[in-house]
Amino acid sequence: SSDGGNTAFAIVADAQGPLVQGATDTDTNDMIEIGYHLLAWSVQHGRLCMETRVKVSVGAITSAALNIGFNDDVLEDSNTLPVELSGTTFTSNSATWIGVVFDPDATNDDFHAFWVDDDADTTTAIADLRMTGVAPVLNQWFGVEIELSANPPATVAEGEAGTAGGAVVATITVIQESTGIRATKRFTTSIDRNALLTPHIAFENHGAVAHTVEIDYIY
């Protein structure tokens, strides 16, 4: 999906092979996004993982906001990002979401981990959510890995998935490929085990600058 005047994500040819590419115009707060067409995954079904490689190839990092994670909406339909960060204050626009946020409006221009469950934002301190020293670099690839698993509740019999209890544990890694720097965070979250989710990548222009975003793969 994309706001009017933008170029929605689509497959393009590249010397490395096929990429998925999208672009905004110069309108502030314009958004482009990509997600699976069904809410088809949950931690209830077992270990849930997502890996991707993304690059902002045109524009300015100082006006590029990104969300990469698991969302409870297939697409936000050109509304705002699932999660935004201004100063040290997060604003969530999804009922359930978990992943990484980069927002140039933040006090610290690093990636931050974040999650929201049933419209309740995590109360984890922002200093603990911050991926210190790891941020996107213009025209350089960065990688994101998100792994969700569930600690089984004590009442579940062997071989059964269970329907309650068992906190969702998230391990989130961001790799800044241009420097080799990486950061990993691990949290016991409040995400429901049975929440149905889709992989989701969204980009929003936070300035009057046209941007191009490329995705090497989503696994």
Where are the alpha helices (H) located in 67-120, listed in sequence order?
none
DSSP letters along 143-182, please? Answer: EEEEEEEEPPPTTPPTT---SS--PEEEEEEEEETTTTEE
Which pLDDT does position 150 carry in this prediction? 84
Quick: pLDDT tens for 41-100: 999 888 899 999 999 999 999 999 999 999 998 887 656 899 999 999 999 999 999 999
Quick: pLDDT tens for 110-159: 999 999 999 999 999 999 999 999 999 999 999 999 999 987 655 555 55
Quick: pLDDT tens for 28-54: 888 899 999 899 899 988 889 999 999
Average pLDDT over residues 167-178: 94
Which pLDDT does position 158 carry in this prediction? 53
